[in-house]
Structure 1
Amino acid sequence: MKYAWRSLFFAVTIILSGCAAVPMTGRSQLSLVDNDEIFPMSFKQYEQVKSENKVIKGTTESQMIEEVGVRMQVAVEKYFENEGKSEYLDGYAWEFNLIENDETVNAWCMPGGKVVFYTGILPICENEEGIAVVMGHEIAHAIANHGRERMSQQKMSNVGLTALAVVLGVGGGSAITNEMIMQSAGAATSLGILKFSRKHESEADKMGLFFMAMAGYDPEEAPEFWERMTSGDGQSPPEFISTHPSHDTRIKDLNKNMQEALTYYHAH
């Protein structure tokens, strides 16, 4: 039993020692995996995604995606340079691509700055400012290291489950008993990740609002984008079981941070 409690103590020690602060928001986040390990895997996966899909080049839309992305990249790099924290972006290799998929109303950014827009989101973006809203949000996910945080959460969950199995004396027990533990702990972990994922989304909304403003895009376009998204995606799930904040919550939070964003915008 003493080894079990040592395992639990080890897990707690990992949590306390493996923390970092999100830039701009200052939120403490779990950081058990280095970007030096994550980025190469991320870049490799990005290349695979491109090889398995039709990447659009040479169109007005694809050029706009790249231009907005580069403009925002420059603004973000300038911000960190002015803050004396240029090293924070070490290893980032920005890339901005448009993939043909009219059914997918989405965009994403892998750790290290690899961005994809799907053509399905362009009608809701409508214009360059709308693209900037989405681009700022996705770049914010990368800057805030949300991917690293999710991986760290999963790693911590695995450590915790191993320790729990030892404490309960089921490490070598029946498959049914182990499965029951995995399901009960997994359910709790899943709900925790849902809550945390909403936190990630809200944090990316706030940081993305500032990033688009730094790049010279009017941040007041952001609530309008989400108004269009609200009218275009049909029935959304209740917020408490969704991995994303409700659109109404997003719009309210964006407006709450608007004055600070406008400060960045007018200073551009």
Structure 2
Amino acid sequence: MKITVILSLISVIIALSGCSSVPETGRRQLIMVSAGDEAKMGLASFEDIKKQEKISIDAKANAQVQRVGQRIAGAVGRDLPNAQWEFVVFDSEQVNAFALPGGKVGVYTGLLKLVASDDELACVMGHEIAHVTSRHGAERVSQNMLASGVSSVGALAMDYYNVAPATRDGVMALYGAGVQVGALLPFSRLHETEADTIGLKFAAGAGYDPRAAAAFWKKMAAKNSGGSTPTWMSTHPSDESRIANLEKLAPQYMPAYENARKAYQ
């Protein structure tokens, strides 16, 4: 029967894929995408972005991003699969930065206008790079693959038992909403908090003040004070909880920051 075959395949995939973990936190992950394939996708995506976005030629902005980025990359402390580190400044008012598998990092000039120091920039870049080192993207893809597989099993089961179309559609809609609110969004918020934690470790290890992260997010919170999505519907923790967590974490990374800073003086 198709349902039994699909369930068996899902069980095998989970058994073979569920042995991965985040090195810095020890959290176990479901990963169904190879690190090599993930890096290839990241490299291809970055090339597309560079063709679509305007690349900044501002010498000061590029020097700052290169300076901070190279130090953060050095603080990761382990090799990334197929890593070809590249740091690019994009000329846009977006207050944003991102990192992709393969060591590709983009920073928008809008963000550089908001950061007050290399320390603040390092905390942002550390956060984005932590998403990559923790393989959060591959984990999200894997979770969606699993959710789609379970959805297919459910649909086949309802077809097999001749469930009425209206009931079938209602069940599938409830399943989709339940997975989103009950699993995917909470995992997204977990990824953000984990990237904050690991990002501070990277920033401090590169000789940048981890206390700058909370200062930066306070500015971001003030900038976005017009309204917010309820936390349970959001991909990110609330500004308040994020800032409180960063302030709580910073002291434990101060010794690493002090030691690393001496190397760059």
Q: Quick check: TM above 0.5?
A: yes
**Which of 241, 244, 247 matches 1:255?**
247
Q: Provide the residue aligned with 1:128 in structure 2.
A: 118
TM-score by length of 2: 0.89
Say which is worse superposed, 219-228 or 7-16, in terms of deviation.
Answer: 7-16
Taking the TM superposition and a 5 Å limit, the aligned residue runs for 1:169-208 are 169=159, 180-191=170-181, 192-208=183-199
- Displacement, 1:183? 2.8
After superposition, the Cα gap between the structure-2 partners of 1:174 and 1:60, relative to the gap in structure 1 and judged at 3 Å, is farther
CA distance in 2 between counterparts of 1:225 and 1:264 reads 20
Q: Provide the residue aligned with 2:147 in structure 1.
A: 157
**Which of 222, 235, 247 matches 1:231?**
222
In the alignment, residue 128 of structure 1 is paired with which amino acid?
A: D
Structure 1, unmatched stretches of 5+, are 81-85
Contact 2:81 2:102 in 1 (8 A): no
After superposition, the Cα gap between the structure-2 partners of 1:255 and 1:14, relative to the gap in structure 1 and judged at 3 Å, is same
Contact 2:39 2:81 in 1 (8 A): no
Taking the TM superposition and a 5 Å limit, the aligned residue runs for 1:77-96 are 79-80=77-78, 86=79, 89-96=80-87
Contact 1:124 1:130 in 2 (8 A): no
Determine helix, strand or coil for the equivalent of 1:117: strand
Say which is worse superposed, 111-120 or 44-53, in terms of deviation.
Answer: 111-120
Contact 1:223 1:251 in 2 (8 A): yes
- Displacement, 1:4? 1.9
In the alignment, residue 107 of structure 1 is paired with which amino acid?
A: A
CA distance in 2 between counterparts of 1:175 and 1:36 reads 42
CA distance in 1 between counterparts of 2:86 and 2:175 reads 38
TM-score by length of 1: 0.88
Structure 2, unmatched stretches of 5+, are 261-265
- Displacement, 1:15? 2.3
CA distance in 2 between counterparts of 1:50 and 1:182 reads 39
After superposition, the Cα gap between the structure-2 partners of 1:50 and 1:179, relative to the gap in structure 1 and judged at 3 Å, is farther
Q: Provide the residue aligned with 2:21 in structure 1.
A: 21
Contact 2:188 2:235 in 1 (8 A): yes
CA distance in 2 between counterparts of 1:147 and 1:33 reads 10
Deviations 1:196-242, CA, capped at 9 Å, x for gaps: 10000000000000100000001111111111111111222222221
Q: Provide the residue aligned with 1:45 in structure 2.
A: 45
Contact 1:129 1:217 in 2 (8 A): yes
Q: Provide the residue aligned with 1:83 in structure 2.
A: none
Deviations 1:149-200, CA, capped at 9 Å, x for gaps: 0111111112111111222226999987765454332222222211110000
Determine helix, strand or coil for the equivalent of 1:224: helix
CA distance in 1 between counterparts of 2:238 and 2:100 reads 23
Deviations 1:20-69, CA, capped at 9 Å, x for gaps: 10011000111001021121122111111111110113420122112111
CA distance in 2 between counterparts of 1:128 and 1:172 reads 62
Contact 2:36 2:81 in 1 (8 A): no
Q: Provide the residue aligned with 1:243 in structure 2.
A: 235
After superposition, the Cα gap between the structure-2 partners of 1:170 and 1:117, relative to the gap in structure 1 and judged at 3 Å, is farther
Aligned residues: CA RMSD: 2.2
In the alignment, residue 216 of structure 2 is paired with which amino acid?
A: F
The size of the alignment, in residue pairs, is 257
- Displacement, 1:98? 1.1
Contact 2:75 2:205 in 1 (8 A): yes
Say which is worse superposed, 54-63 or 141-150, in terms of deviation.
Answer: 54-63
- Displacement, 1:5? 3.7
In the alignment, residue 239 of structure 2 is paired with which amino acid?
A: H
Structure 1 segments of 4 or more deviating over 3 A? Answer: 170-182
CA distance in 2 between counterparts of 1:135 and 1:170 reads 50
- Displacement, 1:114? 1.3
